[in-house]
Amino acid sequence: MQYFTALKMGEKRVKTSQDLLTKYTGHAMPALALRDNKDNKWEPVGEENLFAVVKEENGYMIALCDSKGIAKALAQWFTEEIKNEITAKLKSEQNMTEYFGKLSLPI
């Protein structure tokens, strides 16, 4: 796929994920629109949404990612209680599953 085509598809998927995460967190930031691969072929992030939780010193970050762990949207920093409320709603209202693999985040 051409770079520009892959980027445009990825940007649309990121925007959809960002809007969805904002609905549950109040504010979400866009993340990665393209998948990183070893063969220099351009691929957009996947359409599917899974959520991942990252614990840091500041609290918890919630990310929506594709099935390969490419983060599409991020919301940060939450207490454990608020993180639990948000993830429970994502599971019940969106039927979303949690991603436990290696998460690719923007640097």
- Per-domain residue ranges of the chain: 3-94
User: If pLDDT is split at 50, 70 and 90, which confidence band does 28 have?
Assistant: very high
Which of the pair, 75 or 41, is modelled with greater confidence? 75
How many Å apart are CA 100 and CA 107, to the nearest integer?
20
For the stretch 55-78, pLDDT in tens is 999 999 999 999 999 999 999 999
Residue 74: DSSP 8-state: E
Q: What is the mean pLDDT of residues 6-15?
A: 97
| Contact (Cβ atoms closer than 8 angstroms) between residue 60 and residue 79 | yes
Instruction: Tokens for 77, please give them.
Output: 């920093």
| Contact (Cβ atoms closer than 8 angstroms) between residue 91 and residue 50 | no
Residue 100: DSSP 8-state: -
**pLDDT of 38 strictly over 80:** no
Question: Residue 41: how many CB atoms within 10 A of its CB?
Answer: 10
**pLDDT of 36 strictly over 90:** no
| Residue 91: C-alpha distances to residues 74, 86, 95 (Å) | 17, 9, 5
- Can you give the pTM of this predicted structure? 0.93
